[in-house]
C-alpha cells in the first residue's frame, strides 16, 4: 500500500505471512527558497528555488492559481533546482 507516501514491502516465506513494514518517504524541503526579485516591465524574469530532493514534483502558483507552461510561463527543472521564467513581465505578474 503506497497511500502512506512511503515504500512498503511484505516479507515472508511460502505459507508464512509476516507483518507489512513501511518506510516513510523523506519529505522534500527547500534548501533555498524563492527570493524577492526586481523586474523590468516587458523583460523576462527568472525565479528559482533549490530543493532537498532531485527531480521532485514542483507546482508553481500565483496566489491560489496554478501556473501552466505557456508562451508566458516557462518551467524548468534540473536536479534539485526548479526555475520559473516569466516572459514579457507586466505589473500584474508581481
User: Exposed/middle/buried for 48, CB within 10 Å: 0-12, 13-18, 19+?
Assistant: middle
What is the per-residue pLDDT for 38?
86
Alpha-carbon span 7 to 42, nearest angstrom = 47
Q: Is the pLDDT of residue 37 over 60?
A: yes
Q: Kindly report the average pLDDT of the chain as a whole number.
A: 82
What is the per-residue pLDDT for 88?
94
What is the per-residue pLDDT for 2?
45
List the domains of the chain with CATH numbers. Answer: 45-93 (2.60.40.10)
Q: Is the pLDDT of residue 86 over 60?
A: yes
Q: Is the pLDDT of residue 62 over 50?
A: yes
pTM (predicted TM-score): 0.69
Q: What is the CA radius of gyration of the chain?
A: 20
Amino acid at each position: 500500500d503506497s497511500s502512506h507516501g512511503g515504500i512498503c514491502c511484505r516479507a515472508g516465506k511460502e505459507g508464512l505471512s509476516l507483518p507489512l513494514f513501511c518506510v516513510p518517504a523523506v519529505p522534500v524541503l527547500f534548501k533555498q527558497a524563492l527570493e524577492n526579485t526586481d523586474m523590468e516591465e516587458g523583460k523576462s524574469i527568472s525565479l528559482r528555488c533549490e530543493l532537498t530532493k532531485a527531480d521532485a514534483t514542483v507546482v508553481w502558483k500565483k496566489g491560489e492559481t496554478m501556473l501552466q507552461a505557456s508562451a508566458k510561463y516557462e518551467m524548468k527543472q534540473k536536479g534539485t533546482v526548479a526555475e520559473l521564467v516569466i516572459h514579457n513581465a507586466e505589473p500584474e505578474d508581481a
